């Protein structure tokens, strides 16, 4: 009897204390909405979990969203996601719940809600331990980080750097300037 009452108390405590405001939540519950990314994702890739983080941001004062995590990839290897999304003061008006959906297995990232900025948001992003060959990259590939519209059309954006490290299976970009929220991805550059 003592065991069951302890079990019930622990279960109720976990339920009560695990509920958290959505304004600062991180989720890896397998959020996969890739219906309009088909032009970027090869059919044979089975996408593992995406990472979704949300934070309430006051656009008048600015703020930063940070995500650093490591998880086990589909082949058992560690996959790391490191991102920092920075909003300068007066980037937008009001306070908005900003959501970032990071999808390392597709080399993409999505931002919600759809909105444009007075000052671009700055993104630093690193995907490490991903299968670059499954994304159609080779050891000789050149990479870019771009906006992908709903029709699958790729549009260039400003950024300080974009790198591929085939030996480490890494894709990264630094200070990518996001003029609006939508879907962005690492893509192969044509020579």
Residues paired with 143 in a beta bridge: 188
Cα-based distances in Å from 108 to 14, 33, 77, 174: 33, 12, 19, 15
Mean pLDDT of 3-23: 39
Residue carrying the six token digits 């490490």: 128
The pLDDT value given to residue 152 = 84
**Ranges of each domain in the chain:** 22-189
Distance separating alpha carbons of residues 49 and 33, to the nearest angstrom: 11
pTM of this structure: 0.74
CB count within 10 Å of CB 96 equals 17
**Per-residue pLDDT tens digits for 60-96:** 999 999 999 998 887 788 999 999 999 999 999 999 9
The pLDDT value given to residue 49 = 59
With vertex at residue 55, the alpha carbon angle to CA 163 and CA 31, rounded to the nearest 5 degrees, is 70
In the sheet where 161-165 sits, what is the strand order?
63-72, 78-87, 116-128, 170-180, 161-165
Dig out the tokens for 33 from the structure.
Answer: 């909405």
Choose among 80, 68, 74: nearest CA to 26: 68
Distance separating alpha carbons of residues 112 and 98, to the nearest angstrom: 6
Q: How confident is the model at residue 6 (pLDDT cuts 50, 70, 90)?
A: very low
Average pLDDT over the chain, rounded to an integer? 79
The pLDDT value given to residue 43 = 29
Length of the chain: 191
């Amino acid at each position: 009897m003592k065991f069951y009452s302890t079990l019930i108390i622990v279960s109720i405590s976990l339920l009560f204390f695990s509920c958290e405001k959505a304004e600062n939540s991180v989720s890896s519950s397998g959020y996969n909405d890739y219906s309009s990314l088909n032009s970027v994702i090869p059919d044979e890739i089975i996408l593992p979990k995406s990472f979704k983080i949300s934070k309430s941001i006051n656009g008048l004062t600015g703020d930063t969203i940070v995500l650093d995590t490591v998880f086990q990839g589909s082949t058992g290897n560690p996959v790391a996601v490191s991102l920092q999304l920075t909003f300068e003061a007066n980037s937008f008006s009001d306070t908005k719940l900003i959501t970032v959906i990071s999808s390392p297995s597709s080399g993409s990232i999505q931002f919600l809600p759809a909105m444009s900025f007075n000052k671009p948001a700055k993104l630093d992003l690193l995907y490490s331990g991903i299968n670059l060959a499954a994304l159609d990259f080779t050891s000789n590939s050149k990479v870019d980080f771009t906006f992908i519209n709903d029709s699958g059309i790729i549009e260039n954006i400003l950024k300080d750097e974009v790198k591929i490290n085939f030996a480490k299976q890494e894709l990264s970009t630094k200070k990518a300037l996001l003029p609006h929220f939508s879907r962005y991805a690492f893509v192969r550059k044509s020579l």
